[in-house]
Amino acid sequence: MGIVRLFTKYKLLGDLNKYSLLLIYSGFSGILFLIFFLLEPLTTRVPIISLFVLLSLYLIYFIRSKKKRSEDYDFDTIFPLKEKDYLLVEFSSIFCAGCLPIRAAVDNISKKYNNIQIVQIEAREVENKYLDLVDRLRLSVTPTICLLNKKGELISKRLAHLNPITTEENLDNLLRNSVS
């Protein structure tokens, strides 16, 4: 229970970003190497080596597929690429109690940065032009905020904090680091 609480508290398993995957992978590989050196016969080492290779291949596949998940999307239907450098997608619902303050926080952020296009997607009534984007970004939980660059690569995807002030601070820090 303590390990699960540790992962969920810091959202290592919630976001599944590349840093959390590397942390989990390094933990598993450390345990595998420890077992590897403690076992003597070669016949018991072969399954462990094959498991380590499979875990490595899956990690590489997952990180690369997550990066390419939003690539090759036609952003011209959402915003003109010549005017804006970043796309901030806010996925929320009018029936979500915490989503309305989050929308206000996103609106405040959009006033601070002029090179970011804001797209607010309503979960109950997803328009046809956003269906592919929602599928590619795997948006299913409200409120979720995604930041994409001009190439369509996903920079960050996270659940918004239900406190709008905290969400605004987190977005501001993320945008300052990404935009500058």
Together in a domain, 165 and 122: yes
Residue 169 maps to which CATH number?
A: 3.40.30.10
Give buried/exposed letters for 66-99 (b at 16+ CB in 10 A, else e).
beebbeebebeebeeeeebebbbbbbbbeebebb
- Does residue 20 surpass a pLDDT of 70? no
- Same domain? For 29 and 61 the reply is yes
Q: What is the pLDDT of residue 78?
A: 57
**% of residues, the chain, pLDDT over 90:** 0
Among 45, 68, 91, the domain boundary falls at 68
Same domain, 90 and 105: yes
- Poorest-confidence range of 42-51, 100-109, 140-149? 42-51
Q: Mean pLDDT score of the chain, rounded to an integer?
A: 70
Same domain, 99 and 155: yes
Mean pLDDT, range 17-22, rounded to an integer: 60
Residues 175 and 128 in one domain: yes
Residues 33 and 92 in one domain: no
pLDDT tens digits, 3-16: 444 444 544 444 45
Give pLDDT, residue 30.
Answer: 74
Answer yes or no: do 89 and 56 share one domain: no
pLDDT for 2 equals 44
Per-residue pLDDT band for 124 (boundaries 50, 70, 90) equals: confident
**Final residue before a domain boundary, out of 68, 91, 118:** 68
Query: Which of 68, 97, 123 represents a domain boundary (last residue)?
Result: 68
Q: How many structural domains is the chain composed of? A: 2
| pLDDT tens readout for residues 56-107 | 777 777 766 655 555 555 655 655 555 677 888 888 877 776 677 778 888 8
For the ranges 103-117, 124-138, 157-171, the maximum mean pLDDT occurs at 103-117
Domain of 81, in residue numbers: 75-179
Q: Tell whether 25 and 105 lie within a shared domain.
A: no
Residues 18 and 48 grouped into a single domain:
yes
Query: Is residue 123 located within the same domain as residue 46?
Result: no
pLDDT of residue 68: 53
Give the pLDDT score at 155.
78
How large is the angle between the packed helices 42-68 and 18-38, nearest 10 degrees?
A: 170
pLDDT of residue 8: 46
Do 64 and 131 lie in one domain? The reply is: no
Which of 70-74, 89-93, 125-129, 133-137 is predicted least confidently? 70-74
Shared domain for 101 and 166, answered yes or no, is yes
